[in-house]
Amino acid sequence: MGFLSEISLFRYGASRALRKLCVAIAASVALTVPALAENITIAALGDSLTQGYGLPQEEGFVPQLQAWLSAQGAEATLINAGVSGDTTAGGLSRVAWTLTDDVDAMIVALGGNDLLRGIAPEVSRANLVGILDAAQQKGVPVMLVGVPAPNNYGPEYKAAFDAIYPELATQYEALHFESFLSAITERQDMQGAMRIYMQPDGIHPSAKGVALIVEAMGPSVLELISRAR
């Protein structure tokens, strides 16, 4: 065998070995990347706050949260399962068909309309238990968003209602976000915050208010995504 032939064989062997190495690396990456890049589908089960009442579609809670998650590089798709005027009973009545097979996680933000109607705390609790049971049966992690009760129903009612969310979150090992509107209601200048970040009805956030809510809630949603993987 001549010198040039030996060089050719060496080059052929080196090239072949390099190809084998590349294939091995690609196979290793293929085994690990899908788990990181897997798209997570999140259903946001809620009322008018979730639905985006009074706002252009693109400025509502779900679209703004979707944009925030995308900006963080999170591979997630949100489903707007908010219905204006819905109570915890309404959420329970439709949770079964909300939890389709492609839903990997769920945000539950219900209870505000229960408060407006003065529904007994034990009734609201039972409805939320039904929702959490449905999610648990499907193996879907949940973030439970609280709604602090006002004082006008009395201290006993408030204490009973406010306890629902942290207690159920602990019981079902769900994430707990204390209050949907906390990013607005906890600001020092409450009057100024209401004027800038709430709609004239004083109940629903403006587009700027939604942006504050999303910024505050976003990290918890990222944790929910992590749990769903």
Residues that are catalytic: 48, 201, 204
15 alpha carbon, distance to own chain's centre: 49
Residue written as token pair 């949100």: 78
> Nearest-CA neighbor of 59 among 204, 224, 219, 223?
204
| Token output for 185 | 């209601």
| Token output for 11 | 């080059």
Secondary structure element (H or E) that encloses residue 79, with its range: strand 76-82
Instruction: Supply φ then ψ for residue 107, to 5 degrees.
Output: -100, 125
| Alpha helices in the chain, H assignment, sequence order | 3-37, 48-51, 61-71, 88-98, 112-117, 121-138, 155-171, 182-185, 190-197, 207-228
Secondary structure element (H or E) that encloses residue 152, with its range: none
Beta bridge partners of 205: 198
